Amino acid sequence: MSLTFYYSPMSTAMITDVVLEELGMPCERVTIDLKKGQTRTPEYLRLNPNGKVPLLVHDGTPIWESAAITLYLGEIFGVAKGLYPPPGTERGTAMKWIVWANVTLGEAAGRWMRNTSEYYPAEQHNAKAAEAAKVDMHGCLRILDDALAGKPFLLGDYTLADAHVNSVIGWLRFMAVDFSTYKNLNAWSDRCAARPAHGRAMARAS
């Protein structure tokens, strides 16, 4: 079995890093320097034509998109390790949160970033669009906070859905989103961050 993980510290690839750490998967890690354009080389684009990290190559097959990678790793390796549910309703719940984090929350957060962040040219910022995106993003965070009421983790027990969704939340914390009103969510993030796998991934990134 061969597994190669292309990753950059403090990027979307952190999601996959935490997932791989949780699974304890031996893999070859290739650190990509985004500032040097290392995702734009012909060799890299052959593996991921999107020119982005994370990228996982499993037995010669490239898998890209962080949500797809988590679902794939969960299905192939996570069930036996008790970190991902077998096919059924619990699997559906895990998939729901993983896809929601990237698509629904990620879309609102990405829109907010594009209209506020210094990573995007100020002349492209639109104050009204930023405000609308902020409302949508906080609507998503409220949904997550409510879902975590009375539960230690999204499915009760810890799964890769927690690793994935909390890593997306970590990106929003890094972008200085105000989390002060999300009591359940903050307590859950603390529980996720207390896991040794999370600590190992964070230590590697810093």
What is the binding site for ligand GSH (CB under 6 A)? 11-12, 34, 39, 51-54, 65-66, 102
Given the complex with ligand GSH, which of 27 and 34 has the nearer CB atom? 34
Q: Strand 55-58 to strand 28-31: parallel, antiparallel, or no bridges (unpaired)?
A: unpaired
Query: Which residue number, 11 or 159, has a Cβ lying nearer to ligand GSH?
Result: 11
| Smaller CB separation from ligand GSH, 9 or 152 | 9
- Shortest Å, Cβ 152 to ligand GSH: 26
Q: Closest distance between ligand GSH and the C-beta of residue 168, in Å?
A: 9
Question: 177 with 185: CB under 8 angstroms?
Answer: no
Its sign, for the CA torsion 147, 21, 68, 71, is negative
Q: Is 92 exposed, middle or buried (0-12, 13-18, 19+ CB in 10 A)?
A: exposed
- SS3 assignment, position 183: helix
| Best CA proximity match to 99, nearest among 6, 198, 15, 191 | 15
Cα angle: 157, vertex 162, 164; to 5 degrees: 150
Report in angstroms how near the CB of residue 38 gets to ligand GSH at its nearest. Answer: 9
Q: How far apart are CA 114 and CA 45, in angstroms?
A: 25
Provide, rounded to whole angstroms, the least separation between the CB of residue 141 and ligand GSH. 19
Minimum Å gap between C-beta 102 and ligand GSH is 5
Q: Please say which residue, 53 or 144, places its beta carbon nearer to ligand GSH.
A: 53
Q: 20 vs 53, which CB is nearer to ligand GSH?
A: 53
